[in-house]
Amino acid sequence: MDLSEFRAAALAFLDANAARKPDTAFVWGEGDDDVSIIEERQPDEDAAELARSKEWAARRFDEGFGWIDGPEALGGRGLTAAHRQVYRSLESGYAVPDQSYFTIGLGMVAPTIAAHATGEVQQAYLKPLHRGDLVACQLFSEPGAGSDLAGLSTRATRDGDDWVVTGQKIWTSNAHLADLGEIICRTDFDQPKHKGLTGFIVDMHARGIQVRPLRQMTGGAGFNEVFFDEVRIPDSHRLGDVNAGWTVALTTLANERASLGSGMGLGRGPGPVERLIALARHFGRDRDPVVRDQLARMYTADRIGAWTLRRGMEAARRGGPPGAELSVLKLAGTQNLERMARFVGTVLGPRLLADSGEWGTFAWSKFVCGVPGGHLGGGTDEVLRNILGERVLGLPKDLGIDARTPFSRLPR
């Protein structure tokens, strides 16, 4: 199917099943003033919204617009990445239920399953993930490892045809809603830390798994800590070879940065810089040369980010893997969020901290509280700088003691 024919079919589906978003200009003081980076809901609200999201995902998939570029043998439509991009662009103009519940599953876990899982696991999970029947989470971070993923210590021990997992993961988005999880465990403590890891797909409803919410300073609890107490995972659900989990993790992380990088900024409504310009005008700061300089820097960074994203998406459209553009975008995006947070504090002053009920003031406090997480999720700023230095600029890798020493002998 050529792109013009596909576009016409996609528009017909969307027009028949969803309403177009209104094309209204942003007006200060009108509409919702929510500017939070991550939308957070109460548990009952989450359950209701997830049900609506699953219904839309299933309808979209059944009409042939769910896994557009996936192989037909696994449930996809067998078209190209260009077809997928056309549909995504069209759907963004319609009011459909929140699909962010599936971002981790489709943007990170599914590509890893496609690259490293057995045929059995691919057949079992890829179609349900793309249809919205299953929600997935990523189980990487641990309390004792910080941003050093290779320093994880959750243990997986072979027991016949199963692996027995014991340990703890933290900062796991949507673990409380997830059916599946991608987990990286240590399977050999006598190898250097990057070499004794193995990846698995785990049933999040299995016996021995406990999920506890983590309350953030934004007030939400979308992140969780997850405890594993002798959880059994069949060997068929192993990702790649034993002790080759670092390669599996890199596959996921590359796709994670693609997903996060493409979503940097405010999730709803007009662009963030447009809101900030309106904020400065409303409070009479738009003629201040310092404020204007800050706005110009944020606008420039925002435009460069959009162009960088376009470059990365064009590479994806041609079928290439996630490239350096998306690591750059993620790093630059968090830096621009930091600029925005400082700017908001400059313009609003005490209004940022006191909930007076005034539109467009205290609402920014949730944004400011959410910015620090941007420096951590998807790789810390320091890790991303190392990646770009080594893999893009070709700088030599710093081989420390932990690259050669067995994990069991490292100081902890």
- pLDDT tens for the chain, 412 residues: list them: 899 999 999 999 999 999 999 877 788 998 888 888 877 777 788 889 999 999 999 999 999 999 999 999 999 999 998 899 899 999 999 999 999 999 999 999 999 999 999 999 999 999 999 999 999 999 999 998 877 888 999 999 999 999 999 999 998 989 999 999 999 999 999 999 899 999 999 999 999 999 999 888 887 777 899 999 999 999 999 999 999 999 999 899 877 755 554 444 443 445 788 899 999 999 999 999 999 999 999 999 988 888 887 787 777 666 666 567 777 888 888 899 999 999 999 999 999 999 999 999 999 999 999 898 888 877 788 888 888 888 788 888 766 656 778 888 777 6
d(CA 196, CA 239): 14
Domains of the chain in start order, with CATH, are: 137-244 (2.40.110.10), 262-392 (1.20.140.10)
| pLDDT recorded at residue 257 | 58
d(CA 181, CA 125): 11
Burial zone of 64 (CB within 10 Å; 0-12 exposed, 13-18 middle, 19+ buried): middle
- Strands (DSSP E) contained in 160-291 are 162-169, 180-186, 197-203, 209-214, 223-234, 238-239
Question: Which pTM does this prediction carry?
Answer: 0.87
Nearest CA-CA partner of 123 in 110, 136, 135: 110
d(CA 361, CA 319): 44
